[in-house]
Amino acid sequence: MEEYYSHGKLLLSGEYMVLRGAKALAIPCKMGQSLKFTPQETALLKWQSWDHNGQLWFSADFSVPDFEILNTDTTVMANRLAQILKQIRLQKNTFLKEKGGSIATQLEFDRHWGLGSSSTLISNLSQWSKTNPYLLLENSFGGSGYDIACATAKKPLVYQMSNPVPEIEEVEFDPSFKSNLFFVYLNQKKNSSIAVQQFKNIEVSPEKVLQTSALTRQLIHAKTQSDFELYMMQHENLLGEILGLKTIKEIYFQDYQGAVKSLGAWGGDFVLASGDKNTPDYFKEKGFKVVVPYEEMVY
């Protein structure tokens, strides 16, 4: 049996703008996904995916070597997996050419949280098949690739798209006020692929890209919580102006005393809240029950 593991991810700065070349601050999460492959003398690839509660949430059987779907409980997911397996074959023509086996994937986080169930899968598959994960991502889910960088990272990183390979810089980001930072789940899943496509139609000046990169650096090097909150709000206002959207604080949390910043596709998944020991109570009273302290989330 072979086993592989990848970390989940969160993008603290540069959401959307990373697609235009801005520098973005990304963090690997403590929670991730594992993949186990057991080779077998069979022309069948048997796939089972388990969620964070130990429940089977997806299964499928594929023929080997052509990756046709023989049976499944979720056709959309099976079609996507078949597409990915065929993309791996294009990169490596010896991949599962003669014999199959069984695959079991295990998530450590709620798959609805947006922490990277897709990117950790791509990363694990590329580790297993010894193929290029960025190329695999580009030809399947798409996106900037920062989540692929986080999957095998050991610490926070600054990510910048460039050709032919992205620029990745590990950074020391360990704010002294981290006990006052929290990730709040909005429970409104956004389709990041759709958000990316919509953003492609928005015109962004080079100055705005540079402003975003500068704010990323300022967030990393903020000495005090008040400075950090200032940069959070400046980032929110800048992106709100570009997207033509109200900030998440304007929509939901106008009476919150600290700062709130959207992460990833605006309006869904997690936001970052800077406050104090009473912050979790504030959000839970608002109906947002999942509030994860920074230190419990960040690898």
Look up residue 194 and give its two tokens.
């759709």
164 cis-preceded (ω within 30 degrees of 0): yes
Query: Does 17 share its domain with 98?
Result: yes
Question: Could you report the per-residue pLDDT of 122-175, keeping only the tens digit for each?
Answer: 999 999 999 999 999 999 988 899 999 999 999 999 999 988 889 999 999 999
Look up residue 234 and give its two tokens.
């400046």
Confidence category of residue 176, pLDDT binned at 50, 70, 90: very high
Three-state SS string over 199-264 comes to: HCCCCCCHHHHHHHHHHHHHHHHCCCHHHHHHHHHHHHHHHHHHHCCCCHHHHHCCCCCCEEEECC
- The whole-angstrom separation of Cα 205 and Cα 200 is 13
Structural domain ending residue among the three candidates 170, 188, 221: 170
pTM, two decimals, is 0.93
Query: Does 261 share its domain with 159?
Result: no
Mean pLDDT for the chain overall: 94
Residue 188 is predicted with a pLDDT of 74
- The whole-angstrom separation of Cα 114 and Cα 268 is 9
Query: Does 209 share its domain with 124?
Result: no
Give 3's strand partners.
36
- DSSP string of 38-60? EE-SSSEEEEEEE-TTS-EEEEE
**Which residue from 210, 188, 208, 189 is spatially nearest to 199, judged by alpha carbons?**
208
**124: Cβ contacts below 8 Å, ≥ 6 apart:** 4, 5, 6, 33, 34, 35, 105, 151
Confidence category of residue 212, pLDDT binned at 50, 70, 90: very high
Residue 30, Cβ density class (10 Å: 0-12 exposed, 13-18 middle, ≥19 buried): middle
Look up residue 102 and give its two tokens.
């069984």
The residue to which tokens 């397996």 are assigned = 85
Helix runs in 48-157, H state only: 75-91, 117-129, 133-138, 146-151
Query: Does 13 share its domain with 142?
Result: yes
Query: Does 60 share its domain with 93?
Result: yes
Query: Does 143 share its domain with 196?
Result: no
CA distances to 62, 106, 296 from 100, rounded to whole Å, are 9, 20, 38
Residue 268 is predicted with a pLDDT of 72
Q: How many domains are contained in the chain?
A: 2
Query: Does 112 share its domain with 148?
Result: yes
Query: Does 183 share its domain with 148?
Result: no
CATH number at residue 263: 3.30.70.890
- The whole-angstrom separation of Cα 238 and Cα 212 is 8
Structural domain ending residue among the three candidates 137, 170, 203: 170
Query: Does 162 share its domain with 183?
Result: no
- The whole-angstrom separation of Cα 2 and Cα 8 is 20
Query: Does 76 share its domain with 139?
Result: yes
Confidence category of residue 225, pLDDT binned at 50, 70, 90: very high
Query: Does 195 share its domain with 166?
Result: no
Residue 192 is predicted with a pLDDT of 66
Task: Give percent of the chain above pLDDT 70.
Answer: 98
- The whole-angstrom separation of Cα 250 and Cα 258 is 13
**254: Cβ contacts below 8 Å, ≥ 6 apart:** none
CATH number at residue 83: 3.30.230.10
- The whole-angstrom separation of Cα 83 and Cα 60 is 14
Question: Could you report the per-residue pLDDT of 22-61, keeping only the tens digit for each?
Answer: 999 999 999 999 999 999 999 999 999 999 999 999 999 9
Query: Does 185 share its domain with 212?
Result: yes
Look up residue 48 and give its two tokens.
């089972």
Q: Which domain holds residue 240?
A: 178-297
Structural domain ending residue among the three candidates 147, 170, 193: 170
Residue 191 is predicted with a pLDDT of 61
